[in-house]
Amino acid sequence: MANINWFPGHMQKARREVAEKIKQVDIVFEVVDARVPESSRNPMLLEMLAQKPMISILNKADLADPNRTKQWIEQYQAAGREAIAIDAQHARRLQQLPQLAEKILADKLAKKRARGIRNPHVRAMCIGIPNVGKSTILNRLVQKNIAVTGNRPGVTKNQQWLKASGNLELLDTPGILWPKFDDQEIGMRLALTGAIAETAFTADEVALWGVAYFQQNYRNVLRKHYGLTDEDVALAPADLIKLLTKKFGYGEEFDRTAVRFNNDVRKGELGRYTLEVPTKAQGNQE
Ligand code: G4P
C-alpha cells in the first residue's frame, strides 16, 4: 500500500485553522458522507470541540443505502448525538437545521435574551473532510452561490458571516480536516466513494476490496448489474475481477476492470450503498 500519511503539513495547518474557527461559533455542523458515516469523520474534530455543541449531517443520503442510514441515525440518537440525514442537492430537509440548532442552543439563547439581546444570532460553521458536501450545504443554507475557497487550508483571508434563515449565521468558509486512516479499511472506504484520490491506493487494491464488500453485502446488485450468475458472484474477488475483465472484452487488462468497477460504484451505477454498518445492526444485514 502507498504512503498513507500524506500532507502531514497541511493537516497540521488545517487543524490549527479549524481550532481557531471553532472558538468563534456557537455550534458546529459536522458534515460526513452518509455512505461512510464513520470513516468520513475526523476524530481530531471531537478533541477540538471541547464543550461545543455539534450536529452531524449525514450528507449524500441520496447515494446511501436508506436502511443503513436509518440505522446510523438511530444509533447516533440513542447515543445522545444530534444527527440528520440529507441530500444537499435537494435540500428540503436542510431547512430543519436552523431550528434544530436553536433548539440545541435554547439555554444559551434564553440567557442572551434575558440580558436584553432581542434576536440573538446563532453562529455556526460546516466542518468536514474534503468532498463531503460542505460548500454545497453552505450555499444552500445561505441560498446563494458564494465563492467558496475550495479544499485548501490557508486561503481564509477576510472571513465573513453569511446570513441563513432564522437567526442563523454561517462562517463563509467551511473548515477542512483531512481524513485520518488509522486502519486501511477506512482508506479503502474513502477511496471507493471517491473521497480520497487513488494516489493513496491503486485502483486494483480498491476494486479488490470493493468487489469483496459488494459480494458480502450487495451480492444481488452485483449479479444484476454485470449479468453474473450465483456461482460467479461466489468466486474469490480476484477471480471475479478476472471474469469481469473477460466479460468486458479487456483481454488481460485487469486494471481497466478495476477502474471501471470503482467508477461504477462512485457514480452510483450499482445503486445505493453504505460501506459500513452501525455496531448494533451488524449481523443483521442482507
Ligand atoms: P466540499 O465542500 O465538502 O469539498 O464538497 P462540495 O460541496 O464541493 O461537494 C463535493 C461534490 O459532491 C460535488 O460534486 C457536489 O455537487 C456533490 N454533492 C454535495 N452534496 C451532495 C449530495 O447530497 N448528494 C450528491 N449526490 N452529491 C452531492 P462535484 O461533481 O465535485 O461537483 P459538481 O458537479 O456539483 O459541480
Domain containing residue 140: CATH number: 3.40.50.300
Mean pLDDT of 9-28: 87
If asked whether residues 162 and 227 sit together in one domain, one would say no
pLDDT at 191: 92
Residues 28 and 147 in one domain: yes
pLDDT (mean) for 240-257: 97
Average per-residue pLDDT for the chain: 88
**Mean pLDDT, residues 42-56:** 88
How far apart are alpha carbons 156 and 23 in whole angstroms?
16
Per-residue pLDDT, averaged over 249-271, amounts to 96
Mutate-to-test residue for ligand 1 from 127, 131, 267, highest number of ligand atoms within 8 A of CB: 131
Q: What pLDDT shows up at residue 153?
A: 45
Per-residue confidence band for 285, with pLDDT thresholds at 50, 70 and 90 = very low
The answer, yes or no, to whether any atom of ligand 1 lies below 6 A from the CB of 65, is no
What is the distance between the alpha carbons of residues 148 and 138, in angstroms, rounded to a whole number?
9
20 and 97 co-located in one domain: yes
- Using the predicted structure, report yes or no on whether residue 46 has a pLDDT greater than 90: no
Which own/partner contact pairs does 102-108 have at CB distance under 8 Å and 24+ positions apart?
A: 102/166, 102/167, 102/168, 104/27, 104/53, 104/55, 105/26, 105/27, 105/53, 108/26
Query: Can you tell me the distance from the alpha carbon of 188 to that of 211, in angstroms, rounded to the nearest whole number?
Result: 12
Cα of 90 from ligand 1 centre, angstroms: 12
Percent of the chain with pLDDT over 90: 65
Output the pTM of the full model.
0.90
- 194: Cβ below 6 Å to ligand 1? no
Q: Whose CA is nearest to atom 28 of ligand 1?
A: 60
Whether residue 93 is predicted with pLDDT greater than 50 in this model: the reply is: yes
Q: Is residue 179 part of a domain?
A: no
Q: Per-residue pLDDT tens for 157-193?
A: 567 899 998 899 999 889 888 777 778 899 999 999 9
User: How many CB atoms neighbour CB 82 within 10 A?
Assistant: 18
Question: 242 and 119 in one domain?
Answer: no
89 or 137, greater pLDDT: 137
Q: Is 59 in the pocket of ligand 1 (CB under 6 A)?
A: yes
In a domain, 195, yes or no: no
- H-run or E-run covering 84: strand 82-85
pLDDT at residue 239 greater than cutoff 90? yes
60 and 146 part of one domain: yes
Domain contains 177: no
Q: Note whether 210 and 160 are same-domain residues.
A: no
Domain that holds residue 114: 9-172
- Angle CA(39)–CA(42)–CA(47) in degrees, nearest 5? 140
List CB contacts of 183: < 8 A, sequence separation 6 or more: none
Least confident of 48-62, 221-235, 240-254: 48-62
Tell the residue number behind the cell numbers 500519511, with chain if given.
Answer: 5
Domain annotation covers residue 197: no
Range picked from 20-29, 152-161, 176-185 for highest mean pLDDT: 20-29
Measured from the CB, is residue 134 less than 6 Å from ligand 1? yes
pLDDT in tens, 54-82: 999 999 999 999 999 999 999 999 999 99
Q: Is residue 2 part of a domain?
A: no
Per-residue model confidence (pLDDT) at position 12: 80
pLDDT band per the 50, 70, 90 thresholds, residue 156: very low
Residue 2 has pLDDT above 80, yes or no: no
Q: What is the pLDDT of residue 3?
A: 44
Maximum mean pLDDT: which of 43-52, 147-156, 173-182, 271-280: 271-280
Ligand 1 centroid, distance to 132 Cα (angstroms): 7
Please state whether beta strands 161-163 and 175-176 pair in parallel, antiparallel, or not at all (unpaired).
unpaired
Does the pLDDT at position 53 exceed 70?
Answer: yes
Domain count, the chain: 2
